[in-house]
Amino acid sequence: LGLGWILGLVKYALLATGLQWAVLLVHGLPYNSEKFFDASGSLTYLLVTMWALLKDPMRHPRQTTNSIFVVIWCTRLGCFLFARILKDGRDERFNELKKNPVRFSGIWTVQAVWVFLVLLPVLIINDQVVTPDTHPVGLQDFIGWALWVVGFLVETIADAQKGAFRANVLDKDKFITTGLWAYSRHPNYFGEILMWSALYVSCASAFTLYRQLLLGLLSPAFTALLLLKVTGVPMLEAAGQKKWGHLEAYQHYMQHTSCIV
């Protein structure tokens, strides 16, 4: 039973990997381009979530609500990031990665792993068969959903503020220190981490096995690890130091502004 349950989740990992490699092989490697990287990640979230939700005709309100939250998040973020790269023409995070096809391919595989691990709480509950004994929606779900809304608003507002800042030609070569960015160097990442932590809170109310609690916890943990230690903060702040490191105002901002919260 344990092995079968684990194998039941593997199909979602295979779908995520297949979708990422399809875009990599069709466009990423032939054109040495990251143009569809973020868009493909969002699409992978959408397709994997909907497959897990719709595979059974019977659905619980918790399954539907948490899946809708994922769809809202990935649609909003995917459209935002795709519009940004269409405008900018490139993503500076990939400048070094594209010089090495192996490393460039690896980051697409990492994204597939990211999709699978981050979706684990939602996949676990969506993969469960709904029965009369399924735990009803309760206070824990509402707390999780309220926190998710807060996280979504923080990320959306932070992205909008930075987008408006970058659109101003007078601020073209400056760094943002206004709005939410006055309190956090990466408020959008705070919103992201909060959203996935919130979904874990809701989904965990329906977990019936200890290993489900542990596996589901990988979602917020991996999100925080990836954003704070791998592809998010380190890359952005290295680029920031290269561009503005000589400015006293930038060093003051870095030293006196919290990284996330």
- pTM reported for the whole predicted model: 0.90
**Structure confidence at residue 149 (pLDDT):** 99
Q: What is the DSSP string of 83-146?
A: HHHHHHSS-GGGTTGGG-HHHHHHHHHHHHHHHHHHHHHHHHHHTSPP-TTSPPP-HHHHHHHH
CA distances from 179 to 158, 185, 199, 251, 257 (A): 8, 11, 26, 19, 13
Query: Higher model confidence: residue 170 or residue 47?
Result: 47
Domain extents in the chain = 2-256
**Structure confidence at residue 12 (pLDDT):** 94
**Structure confidence at residue 113 (pLDDT):** 92
**Structure confidence at residue 156 (pLDDT):** 97
pLDDT band (50, 70, 90) for residue 31: very high
Position 46 pLDDT exceeds 80: yes
pLDDT band (50, 70, 90) for residue 1: very low
Query: Is residue 156 exposed (0-12), middle (13-18) or buried (19+ Cβ within 10 Å)?
Result: middle
**Percentage of the chain surpassing pLDDT 90?**
75
Give alpha helix (H) positions in 205-244: 210-225, 233-244
CA distances from 29 to 23, 32, 81, 108 (A): 9, 5, 20, 11
Residue 70 CB contacts under 8 Å (≥ 6 apart), including other chains: 45, 46, 49, 119, 122, 199
Whole-angstrom distance, CA of residue 44 vs CA of residue 178: 33
Position 6 pLDDT exceeds 90: no
Whole-angstrom distance, CA of residue 98 vs CA of residue 24: 12
pLDDT band (50, 70, 90) for residue 160: very high
Position 87 pLDDT exceeds 90: no
**Structure confidence at residue 5 (pLDDT):** 62
Report the length, in residues, of the chain: 261
The per-residue pLDDT for range 163-212, each reduced to its tens digit, is: 999 888 888 789 999 999 999 999 999 999 999 999 999 999 999 888 89
Which residues lie across from 184 on neighbouring strands?
258
